[in-house]
Amino acid sequence: MTAPSVVLPRYGQRALSDLLPGVAAALGLPGFTDHLGLPAARRYVVVLVDGLGQDLLERHRDAAPYLASLLDREPLTSGVPSTTVTSLTSLGTGLAPGRHGVVGYTSRIPGTNRLLNALKWPADVDPLAWQPHPTVFERMAEAGGMAAAVNRTSFEGSGLTVCSQRGAVYHSADTPWERLSVVAEVAKAEQSLTYAYESTLDHHGHEIGCTSPEWLARLAGVDTDLLRLRAALPADAVLVVTADHGMIDLALRGRMDVDDYPGLLDDVVLVGGEARLRHLYCRAGAADDVAQRWREDLDDRAVVLTRDDAVAAGWFGPLDPRVRPRLGDVLVAGLGDFATFSRRLFPVEGRMVGFHGSLTAAEMLVPLLVDAPRG
């Protein structure tokens, strides 16, 4: 459970959920605490580069010389699972997943045998009810600061955006050049946080792989874009770059399709999560038996815990009672180059190359890059 290959989240110390409260404190707003040692400033810009794990940036310094020049701080941990929907909500709320409740790419809608897809978001699930806690953006506004989000037009008003970014003044920008211009303008406001999101690196990783020449070229492009953004910002602004998770490429030999092992799914009524971290929702009273069966079959290829053991191990932080039934009765976290698939339930995953979601260092550690004015 705490083997060297596993990185546990550092909620309340050095996790992604600690970043925006730290920024608010560095801006001088009351009611916030900075655990990260961020410099005091009147303006902050935070850019999240989807999929840019600490390990990937360290291994590819030559492709990203500007970002690599800022690799002088201890990385942050993602939450569990190390996946976009969970991380963006942790970032935006300042809360661990066990409190905000966006606990995976797909997770059970309590009282049903349906999965909530947190990227697509079903119309009959109210995001305000799913994630009722105030965001850091809302709290900043109440404390007298200004919070803005710069993102794609298509993301405005989505369920995930409502969960993670409500309270921020939303500015649409659909290209890197639009984003640069809008962020630079919005960041002129005093005592302000401007948040922006870059998605293309993650898309390349999933589709082509994070070891591909195309991924490296995109990393170089992101590096250039962020250097231009730094130059366009007010001189006294602090630029922070981070990520939501890292990524690994999975060879075919590490992929186990559960459809070929029907006994594994005995007493499992619903399968959720994603390939590197599965939620198994079990028949009442069957969780221990299901967990033991999966441990015996998978051996050291995965960490298999019951929900209670995963919560006790600190995977999700403090657990709200309303969130508990969204978590699998059994959690399966792939190690090394292993992951669980189902061509019947999740056919798209089988076509992907790059993955994330588990608790390995490559997936869990994300950079904290701070470019602050000197002098």
CA distance 261 to 105: 24
* pLDDT tens for the chain, residues 1 to 375: 444 479 999 999 999 999 999 999 999 999 999 999 999 999 999 999 999 999 999 999 999 999 999 999 999 999 999 999 999 999 999 999 999 999 999 999 999 999 999 999 999 999 999 999 999 999 999 999 999 999 999 999 999 999 999 999 999 998 888 989 999 999 999 999 999 999 999 999 999 999 999 999 999 999 999 999 999 999 999 999 999 999 999 999 999 999 999 899 999 999 999 999 999 999 999 999 999 999 999 999 999 999 999 999 999 999 999 999 999 999 999 999 999 999 999 999 999 999 999 999 999 999 999 999 975
CB 97 within 8 A of CB 320: no
CA distance 189 to 112: 46
Contacts of 251 (CB under 8 A, 6+ apart): 337
Task: Report the pLDDT value the prediction gives residue 1, as an integer from 0 to 100.
Answer: 41
Task: Report the pLDDT value the prediction gives residue 375, as an integer from 0 to 100.
Answer: 58
pTM, full prediction? 0.96
Task: Report the pLDDT value the prediction gives residue 56, as an integer from 0 to 100.
Answer: 98
| Residue among 8, 7, 365, 60 nearest 212 (CA) | 60
- In the chain, what are the domains? 16-250+359-371 (3.40.720.10), 252-352 (3.30.1360.180)
Task: Report the pLDDT value the prediction gives residue 177, as an integer from 0 to 100.
Answer: 85
CA distance 319 to 307: 11
Please give the biggest Cα pair distance in the chain: 64
Contacts of 65 (CB under 8 A, 6+ apart): 223
CB 342 within 8 A of CB 271: yes
Contacts of 197 (CB under 8 A, 6+ apart): 47, 48, 50, 88, 149, 150, 151, 152, 155
